[in-house]
Amino acid sequence: MTRPAIAVTGLGMITPAGHDTAATWEGVCAGRSLARTVPELRGSTVDFACTVDGIDLDDAVGGRSAFRMGRYVKLALLAAREAVADAGLSPATWDGTRVAVVVGTSSGGAVGLADQAVRLDRRGPEATSPHAVLLTIPNMPAAEIAIEMRATGPSMAPCTACSSGVTALSVARDLLAAGQCDIAVAGATEAIVVPVVMTGFGRSGAAARADGDPALLSRPFAADRAGLVMGEGAAIMVLEREADARSRGARPRALIAGAGATTDAHHPTSPHPSGAIAEAAVRAALRDAGWQAADVEHVNAHGTSTPLNDATEAALISRVYPHGPPVTAPKGVLGHCMGAAGAIEAGLTVLTLQHGVVPPIANLDAPAPEFDINCVTKLPLTHPVERAISHSFGFGGHNAVLALRRA
Tell me the catalytic residues. 162, 302, 336
For residue 226, the one-letter residue type is A
Whether 33 and 185 have beta carbons less than 8 Å apart is answered as: no
Q: Of 260, 258, 241, nearest to 250 (Cα)? A: 241
Query: How far lies 274's CA from each of 72, 308, 319, 371, in Å?
Result: 34, 11, 11, 15
Query: How far lies 138's CA from each of 73, 279, 321, in Å?
Result: 9, 29, 36
* Distance, C-alpha 336 to centroid of its chain: 9
Return the bridge partners of 186, or none.
102, 237
DSSP sequence for 114-181: HHHHHHHHHH-GGGS-TTTTTTT-TTHHHHHHHHHHT--S-EE---BTBTHHHHHHHHHHHHHHTTS-
* Distance, C-alpha 176 to centroid of its chain: 21
Helix/strand/coil for 82 = helix
Helix/strand/coil for 404 = strand
Burial 117-145 (b: 16+ CB within 10 A, else e): eebeeeeeeeebeeebebbbbbbbbbbbb
How far apart, in whole angstroms, are the C-alpha atoms of residue 183 and residue 136? Answer: 27
Cα-based angle 211, 217, 220 (whole degrees, multiple of 5): 145
Cα-based angle 360, 57, 104 (whole degrees, multiple of 5): 60
